[in-house]
Amino acid sequence: MISTESVLESGDQPCIRMEPLMNTHLPGKATQTGGSCAVFMDGSTKVTANGVHDIEDRILRITGYYGYNPGYSSHRRGDGSESQADTPGSETSEESRSYQACTNTALKVLGGLLLVLGVSSSWVGTTQVVKLTFQSFSCPFFISWFSSNWNILFFPIYYSGLVVTTREKQTPIQKFRECSKLFGEDGMTLKLFVKRTAPFSILWTLTNYLYLMALKKLTATDVSALYCCHKAFVFLLSWIVLKDRFMGVRIVAAIMAITGIVMMAYADGFHGDSFVGVALAVGSASTSALYKVLFKMFLGSASLGEVAHFLSTMGFFNLIFISCVPLILYFTKVEHWGSLSSLPWGYLCGMAGLWLVFNILVHVGVVLTYPILISIGTLLSVPGNAAVDVLKHEVIFSVVRLAATCIICLGFLLLLLPEEWDSVTLRFLANIADKKSEEHGEELTESSVHTRSRSRANGTVSIPLA
């Protein structure tokens, strides 16, 4: 509100106006009532009670100079210059933050791609080395037990990497005890060791044993494709046991996986080694899915250190309690391996090392990069094994087997879709439709403008119909 002290002294009728925010009347103009408003044009501009310069602030308000705010006149321009001086620095910091975020994302994706190659190549190498081992040493349970013992090295490898990357000051025993809180607040006791580790170790051994037995009956490509069905079984068990969200597309993927299994079994008829091999591979996928669902249900989302601790604990359990099974199979002549010197230790150690690398990459990759990339790496083992089978072993695949493999892989990809994929897809299509309608509206506007310009040039006026 304008000050009216000088107006009252001159005897004129006072004019008191409440100025709106965007007033277009300049000071000094006569009002509609015939009164006059006093304006001070002397050298010192008078400031009103709220500290706002009358003339200058109104001009700034009218012109919208630099996003004018009330009270931002010349007497505050010194403070404004300082704030403007800070603005480029804040913009630079924002740009550096965005650049750093983009760099981190790019490094994460690049690391994920390298992990995809590592996961697929290690799994292909494990499968192919097992096939080579069976040519001279056909004892699948002993191979499964021997490779599972290598899980003991998981925690030492984790601790070594932690020391190199973060310069960990804790001793290995202190870190091991810290990670043992996965078993409870009191840490790991003998009772908890047996209670928590036994079921997971048994499922782990069954998964590996059934997978190796299936490799004796089928090609590496067929077994790796059937093993990919574990993703569908994980969804079904999570939906039933863990009450996860129901998704129609994942039900379709599970049906596709079952269809691929039936087609794979039908490829050579429902008899012979082919049917038994399919049953063993599906059993391996089922036990793997049960292991993952139980791990999620009882242990939750464990950290990398806790996972390393748990896998090393399973290795100890396998070495202590399951070592009796290979001995029983040896004395009953079910799996007879002869003398220890005659064993193919090169193949055995190479296979166990590749299997350990695969498990490390899977668990580390879930923490460091996107889990979907690890799943894609497992899926890529199917074409990798197919390439090795065709080029090295000269395997000829039937049309039915190829169709079954493609159906299983397609179902696996459908299971990788996120939960909100439908809403994201609809939003994407709606944005495309809006852009097309806007472009169509702009084209109509341009055509109407051209029509009017031609009509004016011809001396006629055309009115476009709506």
Domain segments of the chain as ranges = 110-424
**How many H-runs (helices) and E-runs (strands) does the chain carry?**
18, 0
Alpha carbon separation from 82 to 78, 86, 90 (Å, rounded) = 7, 6, 13
What mean pLDDT is predicted for residues 277-298? 92
Pair 111, 377: CB distance under 8 Å: no
pLDDT confidence bin for 105, thresholds 50/70/90: confident
The angle formed by the CA atoms of residues 358, 292 and 417, to the nearest 5 degrees, is 85
pTM, two decimal places = 0.71
Helix axes 220-227, 248-266, angle to 10 degrees: 150
Looking at per-residue pLDDT, the higher value among 83 and 352 belongs to 352
pLDDT confidence bin for 449, thresholds 50/70/90: low
Percent of the chain with pLDDT over 90: 37
Cα distance between residue 209 and residue 227, in whole Å: 13
- CA nearest 383: which of 366, 365, 408? 408
The angle formed by the CA atoms of residues 210, 212 and 218, to the nearest 5 degrees, is 100
pLDDT at residue 232 in the model: 92
Pair 274, 268: CB distance under 8 Å: yes
pLDDT at residue 412 in the model: 93
pLDDT at residue 56 in the model: 58
What mean pLDDT is predicted for residues 269-287? 88
- CA nearest 363: which of 147, 101, 149, 118? 118
**pLDDT, tens only, 35-57:** 444 334 444 444 444 444 556 56
pLDDT confidence bin for 374, thresholds 50/70/90: confident
Does residue 195 register a pLDDT over 60?
yes
pLDDT at residue 63 in the model: 53
Cα distance between residue 181 and residue 271, in whole Å: 49
